[in-house]
Structure 1
Amino acid sequence: MQVFKGIAFHNVDELVPFEGGGWALNRMPAHVRKELNEAAKVDRAENTCGVELRFLMRSDKATIVLRRGKARLDSSHAAEVYYGQFQAPYSVTPKMIGTDLTEITIERPHTEKLSALYREHALVFDPEVVRIILPYDWKIIFMDAEGDLVPPKPHQLPQRRYLAYGSSITHGGDAVRPTGSYAMRIADLLGVDLLNKGFASSAHMDLALGHHIAERDDWDFASLEMGINVIGQWTAEVFEHRMRDFLSAVLKGKRDRWLFVSDLFLCIHDLDGSDRIVDYRLAVSRAVEDLGDSRTIYSPGTELLRSVNELSADLVHPSAAGQEAIALRWSKLMRDRIEAE
């Protein structure tokens, strides 16, 4: 997390000056980013999946100025606004973000009733915390902020954190809205905060990233989704070697924290009867079994996403309903395991 202009930039490790003005929001520190594969290093580390701008309002009005980096002309980019765990009214959210400067103006909400519900139901986000949840694809550039803003205090936020690593599916691809990704929904269902370290098209299990995840002390449990971004490029043998090295790197520093591991969610490779996807799943299952760690739990992707009705038309990405299905199934498994001890 970074703090700048009275705003806590959640899931941001560095704010980097951007050519043409503003700051790119990097989800990886520079020393790690330079060791990643080219797509992850140059682009995906600055995609804003799981990035939130969080602040308390001391003024009656706040204006946040954003713009997006270059993107397809037909792509849409909407930010969501929440007051704690409560979605703001439809007059406030969502907000489309274009390549021109986009102003998101928020009037200080009346939160008396929301605050009472927050206390009564032991919610994990104080409704005094304004959350601007950024789109999961492309770069969103922070330009400026106006108003008397201060970052939230730790007691106003969830006390536990969940780190998610994976492909564009972990990013939230085809989830429709930022809060609809399976990772975001798992965090919501379990009452924790999310650190989304997904890398669309570039989740290559880079060794430097495995070490970085292990070294971070800001997560309590994590999930790893592995395989979909390399199945068209790597043999099962190459995948198993890279995946085992990555898992071992994470394990070296995870201490007694829980790790939930999966492979490829149900996809076109299953429907086509691919032998390679069978070998990929066997490789992950064997690797986790060989680790012999009671707090590293393997779940096949086909148990988390079970039906073609949960796929989008490309037969790779889960649909919005599929993202929710993964969240419901994986969060139940996580809760059952964690609470059993």
Structure 2
Amino acid sequence: MQTNPHWITTPITADLLRGALDLERTEHGLLPHRLPARARAQCADPQLAMAETQPSGVRLAFRTSATAVELDTLPTKRNYTGAPPRPDGVYELLVDGRPAGQGTVTGGNVMTIDMTAGTAEHRPGPPGTLRFTGLPDGVKNIEIWLPHNENTELVALRTDAPVEPAPDSGRRVWLHHGSSISHGSEAATPTTTWPALAAALGGVELINLGFSGSALLDPFTARTVRDTPADLISLKLGINVVNHDVMRLRAFGPAVHGFLDTIREGHPTTPLLVVSPLLCPIHEDTPGPCAPDFSNISKGEFKFRALGDPAERASGKLTLRVIRDELARIVAQRQAEDPHLHHLDGRDLYGEADSAELPLPDDLHPDAATHRRIGERFAERVFGAKGVFADGKP
């Protein structure tokens, strides 16, 4: 609701957004998507639909002399039957690249998910308002990072001074694709997912195509990466293939080759980094599938367990060790003809020593502190002076 007669309402358009690949007009406003419509039409999986509309890495970016900003949004919040309510998604304000505030939006739709029954109930709710006041005087660049784990429809943007799209930063664009860990999993805020942290430390503009539960070597994802302008590309592959138990070793290798071939159609010489899985003890030697353990969910404790049999590796079932070996082999094979293709063992980002110090709380996803460690490690090893994405490297 507009209470200040001096508010200026600015239509939210694509040139005010970064990190989104598509905008859908809804009954209430605009819904950012991280997959284009053609890709979405090729997969009816509700998990992917939820993941790609959660705007990890998506932010409003504009230039203004305003000292007050209001943003109306319609969030869709997720609750799980039998579990304590989840906290509201966090919005983060950056002024000239520096953190300047956080907020949440109450109200909105509520999706109640019963994981034991495999059902979901949707209850509609009203939009809410995010408000930042007391901003510094003078013209400045504003970014509002949307919650990385909460579906968010953008309804209205109001300021007390005119707004224009933020100028091109001139920084390189880094496109990253991965699983829920890249999406943000248990990160505390949208700018502290490990890719967002790495992007800030590396001085690049992030496009985050991390999709919770959905890094499955899908051809439509490869085509999306192929068709999206980017200066740097990284792919963190493997964990979802194991915990969904979607393919065997015979299919995995050709699928990786095909994924890389498709990307190279649009990015023939772009630096391309393949990252193998982080350490995940439950799947190092035990194949998938992976299933949630609900035994202590009423206490707020939620874990995952691997259901496969280690003996099944002999018949081609995949484990993380098998996948790491296969990814290293594939990259080495291709490098003779593709000198811009690189490989990073995910255990260099999170390995045995890290697991002992910072174990995965649910046995699958890193917590906020571990996201920070992974982001800092990635920035050092990949964007640092000796890294394959170092600024100035051909």
TM more than 0.5:
yes
- What does residue 94 of structure 1 align with? 103
Picking from 26, 29, 42, the partner of 1:18 is: 26
SS at match of 2:57: coil
Q: Does 1:51 align with 2:47?
A: no
Ranges in structure 2 where 5+ consecutive residues have no aligned partner: 1-9, 109-125, 287-309, 314-318
Q: In 2, are the aligned partners of 1:79 and 1:94 still within 8 Å (CA)?
A: yes
Q: Does 1:295 align with 2:335?
A: no
- What does residue 122 of structure 1 align with? none
- What does residue 211 of structure 1 align with? 223
TM-score (ref. length: structure 2): 0.74
User: How far apart in 1 are the matches of 2:266 and 2:43?
Assistant: 19
Offset at 1:283?
Answer: 1.4
Q: Does 1:27 align with 2:29?
A: no
Q: Deviations over 1:40-88 (max 9, x none)?
A: 6532221110010122235443211012114116222111111122111
Q: Does 1:332 align with 2:380?
A: yes
- What does residue 241 of structure 2 align with? 230
- What does residue 365 of structure 2 align with? 317
Residue 82 to residue 31, structure 1, CA distance change in 2 (3 Å): same
User: How far apart in 2 are the matches of 1:4 and 1:160?
Assistant: 27
Q: Equivalences for 1:134-283 in 2 at 5 Å?
A: 134-147=146-159, 148-155=161-168, 157-217=169-229, 219-232=230-243, 233=245, 234-270=247-283, 276-283=319-326
| Percent identity over paired residues | 23
SS at match of 1:169: helix
Q: In 2, are the aligned partners of 1:16 and 1:25 still within 8 Å (CA)?
A: yes
Q: CA RMSD in A?
A: 2.4
User: How far apart in 2 are the matches of 1:319 and 1:59?
Assistant: 36
Offset at 1:311?
Answer: 3.6
- What does residue 113 of structure 2 align with? none
Q: In 2, are the aligned partners of 1:49 and 1:134 still within 8 Å (CA)?
A: yes
SS at match of 1:255: coil
User: How far apart in 2 are the matches of 1:314 and 1:229?
Assistant: 15
User: How far apart in 2 are the matches of 1:185 and 1:102?
Assistant: 28
Picking from 16, 19, 28, the partner of 1:8 is: 16
Q: In 1, are the aligned partners of 2:63 and 2:166 still within 8 Å (CA)?
A: no
Q: Deviations over 1:177-221 (max 9, x none)?
A: 11111110111111111111111111112112212212222x110
Corresponding residue pairs, total: 319
Q: In 2, are the aligned partners of 1:55 and 1:150 still within 8 Å (CA)?
A: yes
Residue 249 to residue 281, structure 1, CA distance change in 2 (3 Å): same
User: How far apart in 1 are the matches of 2:12 and 2:134?
Assistant: 17
Structure ranking higher in helix proportion: 1
SS at match of 1:316: coil
Q: Deviations over 1:68-117 (max 9, x none)?
A: 114116222111111122111xxx423345424221222362256xxxxx
Residue 209 to residue 11, structure 1, CA distance change in 2 (3 Å): same
Residue 52 to residue 237, structure 1, CA distance change in 2 (3 Å): same
- What does residue 131 of structure 2 align with? 105
Q: Which amino acid aligns with 1:132?
A: I
| Greater CA drift, 200-209 or 5-14 | 5-14
SS at match of 2:321: helix
Offset at 1:146?
Answer: 2.0
Residue 87 to residue 312, structure 1, CA distance change in 2 (3 Å): same
Q: Which amino acid aligns with 1:13?
A: L
Q: In 1, are the aligned partners of 2:235 and 2:275 still within 8 Å (CA)?
A: yes
Q: In 2, are the aligned partners of 1:260 and 1:296 still within 8 Å (CA)?
A: yes
Q: In 2, are the aligned partners of 1:186 and 1:331 still within 8 Å (CA)?
A: yes
Q: Deviations over 1:278-330 (max 9, x none)?
A: 21111111111121222211111112111213343112112222222222222
Q: Deviations over 1:116-142 (max 9, x none)?
A: xxxxxxxxxxx8111111111131111
